[in-house]
Structure 1
Amino acid sequence: MVTRSGQFHLERPGIVNHRGLQRRRTILLENGLTCTDDLHTWADAASSLSVDELIAAGDWILRPRSTRTVGDLASVLPRRMRGVRTARAALLEIRPGSASPMETKTRLQLVRGGLPEPELNVTVTDEGGWLGIVDLFWRRWRLVVEYDGRHHVERQKTWERDVARERAFRDAGYDYERLISRNVNGRTPDALAIVRRALVRAGWRPGVA
């Protein structure tokens, strides 16, 4: 809960209080409630979220077609506030373009594991035209990596479309890897190993720019 400086605020379990509402931008919701905007809400959440949770929230604010930037997130951080160190650490790893928290988690595992940074949710084309928008893309090594949630295998039409999409990328000369939840969240996550092998096949070498 955010109140104006000097104003009474509730003390209740589960409620984190912040002062300085007059210094925050607010928006009016459809239900008539007023809340802080996405940037200030993200900054206030730094007092209760972990670094990775804050990265996922920041990535969501900078999702595809968003006009927000990492600089916008940095601009709302005061020098002193609860969680400012967490927020500053998160800013170093927030990237524009992730379309879901699982895409963020996948990217973090890969990059922290020593792999080069991918482009996120970019449109890929070849001589024949448009191929598709992909989750993770290493242009130099012509590698596409997609994270598929449960709905991709539960819906027949979606699955058929994904199979045709993968074939189109491979026919155009791209390597294509599909990751699912157990590759990222399982007891022994192997997303890093899968993508690392694909990059090495394509000519990437660790430690070589």
Structure 2
Amino acid sequence: MKSPEDRRRRAHNYLVPRHGLTRREALEQLPARDIRHALANDSLISLGHGLLGPETDNASPSALHTLQALTAIGGRTVGHETAAALWGLMPVPLGPPYHLIHARGRARTRRSGLVVSHTADVPERFCATYQSIPLTDPAWTWTDLALKLPMLQALILADIAVRPGRTEFGETTGSLTRVSDLRDAAKARGPANGAKTVRTASLLARPGADSPQETTLRYYMYEANLPEPQVNVWLLDEHGRRIVQPDLSVEKYRLAIQYEGQSVHSDPEQVLRDVRRQERTEALGWVEVRITKEHMRHSGAGAIAKITRALRKQGWRS
């Protein structure tokens, strides 16, 4: 809980979402100012990088005490979904069944309904501690999850892991891990089932994506062999001033790509802001392409066609 000195003094005159959601979804319901106020007053809490939820007892002392007891015997490390919950890598509750990794040659914990046991030797450099609980670090935890996921979902989770906090969204923390750490962990997994997917996802991971939709669109561009876009990089004017920050951008062809959520961008005030943004983009000599969820249907066929046309107009040749 925040101390009284940290709390904002203005009245709480807005409705706090009563379910978990992404920061982008929260911005569709509340102005950024209200989100910052809710975070400062603990009526809204961070559930992980880019994820918010109402005040909850998610990481309850009883769950932590249980994990401390389960790992009191050496050779047991918290991993998989349980480590992801502790790190805030996935919006999953911290509770049973708890995932424990046992070193090879050690007896497995057999507690039906309470523990899911795994056997693996986790390199020491990928181990960490949280409140006296040994657990896998964010990079290794990501590999545990990604080995069981299809490529796109593994990449979305990788982008979440390496995403730094955005101060304009009220975030003050850094990323859970680095792209280089993901790649080292992926390499250390050796020939495990799903290792190729994990290695490829680690190579495609980029810091800065604010939503799964942005990651998905970037992946569709990769699959279509289009030029790789940068993620949330500012476009500068001739004086080096920040003017526009597109979701994705291809600097060589001066193409800015914006993914627009339907609800927030249908608001009249937001429509005006979108028009002004496009005008500023074009004033810099760039072209803006807007992508909506309709373009993302059928593996992004409409989005790729629209981006391809814009790239060709800008001089790109496949």
Residue 116 of structure 1 deviates from its aligned partner by: 0.9
Matched with 2:189 is: 78
Secondary structure, counterpart of 1:203 in structure 2: coil
Matched with 1:47 is: 147
Q: Does the CA-based 8 Å contact 1:147-1:178 persist in structure 2?
A: yes
Matched with 1:141 is: 253
Q: Distance in 2 between matches of 1:110 and 1:79?
A: 28
Pick from 113, 122, 127 the counterpart of residue 25 of structure 1.
127
Residue 72 of structure 1 deviates from its aligned partner by: 0.7
Residue 79 of structure 1 deviates from its aligned partner by: 2.2
Q: Which has the larger radius of gyration?
A: 2
Q: Does the CA-based 8 Å contact 1:166-1:176 persist in structure 2?
A: yes
Q: Does the CA-based 8 Å contact 2:100-2:116 persist in structure 1?
A: no
Aligned pair count reads 204
Q: Distance in 1 between matches of 2:158 and 2:299?
A: 27
**Residue deviations 1:160-205 (CA, integer Å, cap 9, x gap):** 3222111211222210011011111358731111011111111111
Secondary structure, counterpart of 1:177 in structure 2: strand
Counterpart residue identity of residue 244, structure 2:
G
Matched with 2:265 is: 153
Matched with 2:58 is: none
State which drifts further: 197-206 or 56-65: 56-65
Residue 3 of structure 1 deviates from its aligned partner by: 2.8
Q: Does the CA-based 8 Å contact 1:4-1:21 persist in structure 2?
A: no
Secondary structure, counterpart of 1:127 in structure 2: coil
- Unpaired stretches in structure 2, ≥5 consecutive residues: 1-98, 166-174
Q: Distance in 1 between matches of 2:127 and 2:252?
A: 41
Q: Does the CA-based 8 Å contact 2:164-2:207 persist in structure 1?
A: yes
TM-score by length of 2: 0.56
Using CA pairs under 8 Å that are at least 6 residues apart, name the structure with larger relative contact order, 1 or 2.
1
Matched with 2:100 is: 2
Q: Percent identity among equivalent residues?
A: 27
State which drifts further: 180-189 or 117-126: 180-189
Judged with a 3 Å threshold, the aligned counterparts in structure 2 of structure 1 residues 179 and 156 are, in CA distance, closer, same or farther, namely same
Judged with a 3 Å threshold, the aligned counterparts in structure 2 of structure 1 residues 174 and 35 are, in CA distance, closer, same or farther, namely same
TM-score by length of 1: 0.81
Judged with a 3 Å threshold, the aligned counterparts in structure 2 of structure 1 residues 112 and 96 are, in CA distance, closer, same or farther, namely same
Judged with a 3 Å threshold, the aligned counterparts in structure 2 of structure 1 residues 22 and 110 are, in CA distance, closer, same or farther, namely closer
